Amino acid sequence: MVAQAPPAQGAITFLRAAKRRNHRLGNITYANDPSPRIVNLRNAGYLESLGMVVKTNGIYATAGPTSVDGFGQYSGPIDRITLLANSVGVLYDLSGYMSAVVSALNANYKWATPFSLTKGRPDSFTAAPATSAFSNVWTYEIPIAIDLADLPYPLGLYQLALNAQEVQLQLRHTPVALTTANIGGGVYVGNPANFTLSSGLTEVHQRFFDPITQLEAQPPLAVAHTWRQFRYFLTGDGDNEIELPTGGWYTRIVYQVVMGATTATLAGNSAAVTRLRLVYGSNVTPYDETREEAEARMWRSYGGQVPLGMFVHDWLEDSHTERDFVNSRAVTDLRAIITTSGGAYAGGAYVDLAIEQLLPVDVNSLPTVGAQGVA
């Protein structure tokens, strides 16, 4: 995790030797059931990212939907995206909605694109299809590695050029048409009996770097880059302490607050949050913000409005280096505290957390770092 010394003049480096490739893997056909649909990745080079293009075509016969789902309008009919290595190692496991958020964060980080879940071409979404045929497109970028400004190579590249290595992309789908609003449960709400799906598929692209033969130019493979998601239920106003899993360097946490009265939309989720903190030990609090300050910071950082009820702890954005990473292995009782007031809890309020970490694969190859995880 420590930046290496500059290479000697004329030395072979990753930047000089690497060649990035983009190959199409094929299609995953849409299926309205809970079983995962699978595509196996090619054993080719150092995996850097995956690209996905989700397409649905359909028509409402006599009456269109009454509304759109608060999450589904941004994610399409994708319930879960999981990337498994050798059936047990989880590199990526997020809901469709959180994957759409991560795609937007990634675009902002890598290409300074203003944050938006509503993208331009080829993305398109017909919010009110009525009885006309519609064609919707959602695109995803699934980051496997991240680029740091002070390193000459991406961190988290995954070696696939081994016959014994098996990496599998799993997609789970939601219904396109729902009977009643159930946030994250589909795309359109109302009149599902009038709906006919003409076609649905997901195109998958694998992006990787060719294997490098020169030993001194090979990227480090001792760190895995992961995105994982879990849910914490809210039952009342006050300080909601969320214990965070340990094991690696925290780079970003996305919090999506959903109040119990919220079904089809996200309105009202932000107002209930009054304070956001990151705490470890008994009371060490390196990050403490009111809702207004957190929202202002995100606007400054991302140049666009994040969804209502969304908050991001981001230790990459300010410097694009490892300077601010939080080392969860060097602290105790790492937790987030979300303080709420005046919230609606009867309908099952919760916080969805998407956590980005860099995890050591070979502990002996990594340095010991300080109490707040900078190295």
Look at residue 11 in the predicted model and tell me its pLDDT.
77
Look at residue 102 in the predicted model and tell me its pLDDT.
98
Look at residue 8 in the predicted model and tell me its pLDDT.
58
CATH of domain 12-221: 2.70.9.30
- Alpha-carbon span 70 to 310, nearest angstrom: 13
Q: Which residues contact 266 (CB under 8 A, 6 or more apart)?
A: 70, 183, 258, 307, 308, 309
Q: Which residues contact 310 (CB under 8 A, 6 or more apart)?
A: 101, 254, 255, 256, 257, 270
- Alpha-carbon span 25 to 20, nearest angstrom: 16
pLDDT bin (cut points 50, 70, 90) of residue 132 is confident
For 298-353, the pLDDT digits (tens) are: 999 999 999 999 999 999 999 999 999 999 999 999 999 999 999 989 888 999 99
pLDDT bin (cut points 50, 70, 90) of residue 193 is very high
Comparing C-alpha atoms, which of 353, 354, 306, 312 is closest to residue 74? 306
Look at residue 370 in the predicted model and tell me its pLDDT.
40
For 245-295, the pLDDT digits (tens) are: 998 999 999 999 999 866 656 766 888 999 999 999 999 999 999 999 999
pTM (two decimals): 0.92
CATH topology for 223-362 is: Jelly Rolls (2.60.120)
**pLDDT higher at 199 or 363:** 199
Look at residue 373 in the predicted model and tell me its pLDDT.
41
User: Does 365 have pLDDT greater than 50?
Assistant: no
- Alpha-carbon span 214 to 176, nearest angstrom: 49
CB neighbours (10 Å) of residue 182? 17
Look at residue 264 in the predicted model and tell me its pLDDT.
58
Comparing C-alpha atoms, which of 205, 208, 206, 98 is closest to residue 159? 208
Look at residue 340 in the predicted model and tell me its pLDDT.
95
The domain spans of the chain are 12-221, 223-362
Q: What is the DSSP string of 78-139?
A: EEEEEEEETTTEEEEEEEHHHHHHHHHHHHHHHH-PPP-SS--TT-B--S--TTS-EEEEEE
For residue 206, the surrounding DSSP H or E stretch is strand 195-209
For 80-117, the pLDDT digits (tens) are: 999 999 866 899 999 999 999 999 999 999 999 999 99
Comparing C-alpha atoms, which of 354, 356, 360, 355 is closest to residue 329? 360
Q: Is 182 left (phi over 0), alpha (psi -120 to 50) or beta?
A: beta
For 68-90, the pLDDT digits (tens) are: 999 999 999 999 999 999 866 89
Instruction: Give me the residue label for tokens 């993305």.
Output: 123
User: Does 2 have pLDDT greater than 70?
Assistant: no
Q: Which residues pair with 231 in a beta bridge?
A: 352
